[in-house]
Structure 1
Amino acid sequence: MTFAPRTWTVGEVVSATLLNTEIRDQFASILDAWTPYTPVWTGQTTNPVLNNGTLTGRYLKVGRTCHVQIELLMGSLTTYGSGGWVLSLPFAASATGNRIGLAHAFQSARVQGQLVVAPNASTGLLFFPATTSVSFLSLATATAPVTWAAGGRIYVSFTYETAT
């Protein structure tokens, strides 16, 4: 819960309530625990279905800066949809600049990738090498960077500027 600092006036009496609001509460928001959220996982053509997999997220928002961590664990009944994969953000992104975060896939190989947040976006696009033998990035799909199965994991960590 961050807010704009107070503009003080000459002769104003400083009280414990004002100090708590202006100083304690601002610091508490910076040092607060992360807030859990459930990201939405979609495909650009057909949506994946999590079924018995798990998808968890958490964020820490300080002002308009939002730090996010997401973990996707594939279950034995998870289906992978078609087209590139997209994960929802806890807040819409600002209108300026792209943001790039770190992604890590683990199935039959460990593959490093990126999550890209475009201006004004409410989702981030997952990019990994198309296969474990190439270095250029493609959208993550049911078969890129690996053929996904139960036990596969994707970890994502990124920071972006929110719209509000």
Structure 2
Amino acid sequence: MTTIPRTWASGEVPTGTDFNTEVRDQFNSIFAAWTPYTPAWTGQTTNPVLNNGTISGRYLKVGRTCHIQIELLMGSTTTYGSGGWVLSLPFAASATGNRIGLAHAFQSARVQGQLVVAPSASTGLLFFPATTSVSFLSLATATAPVTWAAGGRIYVSMTYETAT
């Protein structure tokens, strides 16, 4: 993770350690491997239960810019809860600006959607068309945009500004 570079005084002579800390280590953080995290998957009324499904996430944070990817795979014993679905982020979002990520659902159809994050939120709401035959978006649920079953997948990619 990057740190804020120090402020140098006029005439100050940096050492090798200073260069490693202030230059090398900063660049290394930009080229580092992505960090895994396990997103929480919740419902607005009752929570889904993953059981033998899987959820994984990973992120790359450079300064206050965070790139994330999430994959949710439904298992044969997964239950889907009720109410709109919510996925957690690795870091809270900034208090200003809009954040909308891409989401892709695959079950009996492929459906494009969005992950929408409110200012200062640490979670995002999943939106897809209410059914595969309409174009307006609604919250993803046990039956929207498809009736979910084992083997169903949701993929999310997003870049957002973090609060810190």
TM bin, normalised by shorter chain, reads over 0.9
Q: Decide which moves more: 90-99 or 42-51.
A: 90-99
Residue in 1 that maps onto 2:109: 109
Residue in 2 that maps onto 1:34: 34
Matched, 1:63 2:63: yes
For the residue of structure 2 that corresponds to 1:57, the secondary structure is strand
CA distance in 2, matches of 1:43, 1:157: 20
Residue in 1 that maps onto 2:73: 73
Count of residue correspondences:
164
Amino acid in the other structure paired with 1:57: G
Structure 1: 4+ residue segments shifted above 6 A: none
Cα RMSD over matched residues?
Answer: 0.6
Gaps of 5+ in 2: none
Residue in 2 that maps onto 1:127: 127
TM norm structure 2: 0.98
1:3 offset after TM fit, Å?
Answer: 1.6
For the residue of structure 2 that corresponds to 1:18, the secondary structure is helix
Deviations 1:113-152 (A, max 9, x none): 0000110101000000000000000000000000000000
1:10 offset after TM fit, Å?
Answer: 2.1
CA distance in 1, matches of 2:137, 2:22: 46
TM norm structure 1: 0.98
Deviations 1:5-34 (A, max 9, x none): 221112212210000011100000000000
Matched, 1:18 2:21: no
In percent, how many aligned pairs have the same letter? Answer: 88
